[in-house]
Amino acid sequence: MSEGDKDAVWLMQGWLFYSDSAFWKPPQMKALLHSVPFGKMIVLDLFADVKPIWKTSSQFYGTPYVWCLLHNFGGNIEMYGILDSVSSGPVDARISKNSTMVGVGMCMEGIEHNPVVYELMSEMAFRSQKVQVQEWLKHYSRRRYGKAVYKVEAAWEILYRTIYNCTDGIADHNTDFIVKFPDWDPQPSHGSNIPKRHGMQMLLGLDVKRRFLLQESSSDLPQAHLWYSTREVIDALKLFIDADTNFAGSLTYRYDLVDLTRQALSKLTNQAYINAVIAFREKDVNAYRYHSQKFVQLIKDIDVLLASDDNFLLGTWLESAKKLAVNPRERRQYEWNARTQVTMWYDTTKTNQSKLHDYANKFWSGLLESYYLPRASSYFNLLSRSLTENENFELEDWRREWILYSNNWQEGTGIYPVKAKGDALAISKLLFKKYFS
C-alpha cells in the first residue's frame, strides 16, 4: 500500500475480533494492530451497537477506530434496533479515558428499512451529548408525519421500549418462519435435526399474559428471534391505525403502518407454525389443519398488505437489476442474480439447500406469494399426508420437491408489479380486525 501511495491508510474491519473471538485474545490483537505504524491503520468497530470491541480491547490498544452501526444483515426486512445504544454509544466511546475514536460510521448490509434507526445514527456524527430518546422520538414523529398527534407519539413510546430495545445481544437476522422456513423433520424422534443457526440461541418468548401462547413448550422446536412483548406492539399498531384521519396522503405514515402491521402479523405466523407442529405431533388432524391453513392464509394476507406500498415490491428489485443490462444475455443473467440473491443462493444439491439460503430474505409482495407460499404449502401438504395416512414424514422428499421448485423460480422471467395497489389503511384495519380484535 505504501509503495502505491506513501500516505495510504489501512482501513480494517474489526469484525474478526467479534466473529473469531476465541482466537483473537489480547496478545494476538496487539500483534496485529501494532504491526502497522501508528496512524497508518484505522479499525472499524463494526458491530459497536451490539458488541463494542473498544470496551474490551483498551481502545484497540491505541489504534484509531470508528464507532460503527452494523444493525442489519442481508437486507432483511424486520423492525429492529437498539436506540439507546445508538443514542449514547458514540458519545460514551468519544469521552472515555484514553479514547482513540476518530469518527462514526454505518456499515449495514442493507438499508431501506428501519428509518428511525438510521436517522438517529446520522445525527450522532454532529452531537456531543447523549440523546434523550423519548423526547427525540416526539420530534422525529412530528418531522416524519408533518404534525404532532398524541396517538402516534404514544405508539412510538411503545415501540421504543419493545421493538427498538433489543438488548439480548443476538445479531438480528430475520428468522421469522415465513421468510426462513425451518428445514427439519418435526417428528419427535427427529428433533435433533433442527439447525443451530450461527450457534446462537433463537428466542421465542413466552409470557402467559401475552396473546401468543404456546400450548406446549419444547426445546426441540424451531425458535424465531423474539425480544419483546407482542401484545404491546399490537397496542402500538392499534394507536397507529386510530390516528389515520390525521395523515391522509402521508407516504411516511403509510410506510410505517404497513411495516408495523407486517411485523405484528409475522410474529403471529410464527406461532401458527409452532401450533401446527404441536398438533402434528399429537396426531390432532383438525387442529393441524386449522393452524397450517392459518399459516398459509397469513402469507397470502401479508402479501396483499405489502402490495399496497411501493417500498415492499419484488418487481422493483427485479426491474432495477434488468435495467443495468446492455444486452439480452446480461438481462437474463442479472435477473437470475437478483432472484438468487434473495432466495436460495447457489450451492445446492438435489436434496440440500444452500448454506446461505434465505440469508437475504425479504418481506416483499410477489416474493411471498410466488416463493414463500409454495414452500410452506408443499411442506404442510406432505405433513398432512403423513398424518392422515399414518406414514413417516419424509423430509428428503420435501427438500427434493422444494429445491427443484426454487431452481425453476430462479430461472423464471415472470413480471411482477412495480406500482402499489390497494388502500394500505383499509387493508391494515381489515387485517387487525381479522387477527387481533
Residues 145-184: tens digit of each pLDDT: 999 999 999 999 999 999 999 999 998 899 999 999 999 9
Query: Which residue carries 394500505 as its cell?
Result: 424
Cell of 222: 424451531
**Is 350's pLDDT higher than 60?**
yes
pLDDT of residue 188: 84
What is the distance between the alpha carbons of residues 391 and 227, in angstroms, rounded to a whole number?
Answer: 37
The reply to whether 119 and 165 lie within a common domain is: no
The reply to whether 347 and 421 lie within a common domain is: yes
The reply to whether 183 and 119 lie within a common domain is: no
pLDDT of residue 212: 36
**Is 202's pLDDT higher than 70?**
no
Mean pLDDT in residue range 231-247: 96
Mean pLDDT in residue range 73-92: 98
Mean pLDDT in residue range 194-212: 36
**Is 197's pLDDT higher than 80?**
no
- Within-domain flag for 98: yes
Lowest mean pLDDT, pick from 51-60, 205-214, 383-392: 205-214
**Is 30's pLDDT higher than 50?**
yes
Question: In the structure, what pLDDT confidence band is assigned to residue 218 with cuts at 50, 70 and 90?
Answer: low
Mean pLDDT in residue range 336-349: 95
pLDDT of residue 190: 60
**Is 411's pLDDT higher than 80?**
yes
Taking the mean position of all CA atoms in its chain, how far away is CA 409? 23
pLDDT of residue 331: 98
- Within-domain flag for 139: no
pLDDT of residue 220: 87
pLDDT of residue 392: 95
pLDDT of residue 403: 97
- Within 8 A by CB and 6+ apart from 297, the residues are none
- Within-domain flag for 383: yes
Mean pLDDT in residue range 18-27: 95
Mean pLDDT in residue range 203-210: 34
Mean pLDDT of the chain: 93
The reply to whether 286 and 224 lie within a common domain is: yes
Please name the amino acid found at residue 85. S
- The per-residue b/e assignment along 36-48, b for 16 or more CB within 10 angstroms, e otherwise, is eeeeebbbbbbbb
pLDDT digit string, tens, across residues 252-299 = 999 999 999 999 999 999 999 999 999 999 999 999 999 999 999 999
The reply to whether 63 and 161 lie within a common domain is: no
pLDDT of residue 208: 28
- Within-domain flag for 50: yes
pTM, two decimals, is: 0.92
The reply to whether 225 and 83 lie within a common domain is: no
Mean pLDDT in residue range 411-431: 98
Contact present, 88 and 49 (Cβ < 8 Å): no
pLDDT of residue 207: 35
Alpha-carbon dihedral sign for residues 333, 336, 338, 344: negative
The reply to whether 262 and 401 lie within a common domain is: yes
Mean pLDDT in residue range 373-384: 98
Residue 66 domain boundaries:
10-131
- The per-residue b/e assignment along 231-249, b for 16 or more CB within 10 angstroms, e otherwise, is eebbbbbbbbbebbebbee
Domain boundary, last residue among 77, 101, 131: 131
The reply to whether 112 and 158 lie within a common domain is: no
**Looking at the 3D structure of the chain, how many domains does it have?**
2
Q: Give the residue with greater pLDDT, 437 vs 196.
A: 437
